[in-house]
Structures are given as C-alpha cells and as structure tokens.
Amino acid sequence: MIRGLRGAITVGRNEEAEIQAATERLLRKMIESNRISPDLVASVFISATHDLTAGFPARALRELNGWKYVPVMCMQEMAVTESLKMCVRVMMHINTEKGQKQLKHIYLEGAKVLRPDLNEEE
C-alpha cells in the first residue's frame, strides 16, 4: 500500500546553502525515523514558501546516496495570508505495510506549529 509521509521545516535565511541544509536535515530525519529505503519510495513532492527563492529544496534529496532515481518534484507552496514563512514541506509517497498511526511525520524548527498533534520528537 502507498502511504503519504509528511514533514516540514523552517529555514533561517533565503540562501541556497541554508535551504539545502534545512531540507537535508528534514529528509534525513524522515528517512531515519521511518526506516525508509529509496526503493520503497514512489515519489516525493517538496514545496517551498514564496520567500524561499535562492535554491531548489529538491536538490537536497538528489545529494543523498541511493536517491538518484526517486521521482521528485519541487513546487511553490500556496501564498496564504498569515501563513508560516520560510518553510519547506515534504510529502513522501512510500510503499509500506505500516498503518497511518505507525508513520512518524516530522516537523522541525518553526514548522512544529503546523502539526503540534503529530510532534513526538525533534
């Protein structure tokens, strides 16, 4: 069965290195916490808020060993008034036998406010 795994993180500055570092931290935490191998992943969608323009967050996934052939798409998050700024969000579609409640969605830094009900760890 394919399930969606969510995650988000805020970025300190609109600089390519900052965007890459934050996105990589989030992805690694999602992968580690859910014991995901690239072969289990159907696709990954990564969005960034309109104020993050210095680099493609999806590039961070390409830098991870073994993730070269995983389909990934980067897009701009909806610009909703009063929404969280400087934020990268990830939706990873994984093949798993785990139930919805067994997945560990990861929200780091300022993005913890998006889903405080799912925050169990940093």
Give yes or no: 13 in active site.
no
121/96 Cα distance (integer angstroms): 22
Give yes or no: 77 in active site.
yes
32, 62, 63, 120: which is the annotated catalytic residue? Answer: 62
89, 97, 109, 121: which is the annotated catalytic residue? Answer: 89
74, 82, 121, 122: which is the annotated catalytic residue? Answer: 74
6, 25, 82, 109: which is the annotated catalytic residue? Answer: 6
107, 109, 120, 121: which is the annotated catalytic residue? Answer: 107
DSSP-assigned beta bridge partners for residue 8: 89, 107
Is the Cβ–Cβ distance between 97 and 85 less than 8 Å?
A: no
Is the Cβ–Cβ distance between 88 and 26 less than 8 Å?
A: yes
**Phi-psi region at 66: left, alpha or beta (left = phi > 0; alpha = psi -120 to 50):** left
SS (H, E, C) 35-92: CCCHHHEEEEEEEECCCCCCCCCCHHHHCCCCCCCCCEEEEECCCCCCCCCCEEEEEE
3, 25, 59, 115: which is the annotated catalytic residue? Answer: 115
Give yes or no: 87 in active site.
no
Give yes or no: 69 in active site.
no
- Mind telling me the catalytic residues? 6, 62, 74, 77, 89, 107, 115
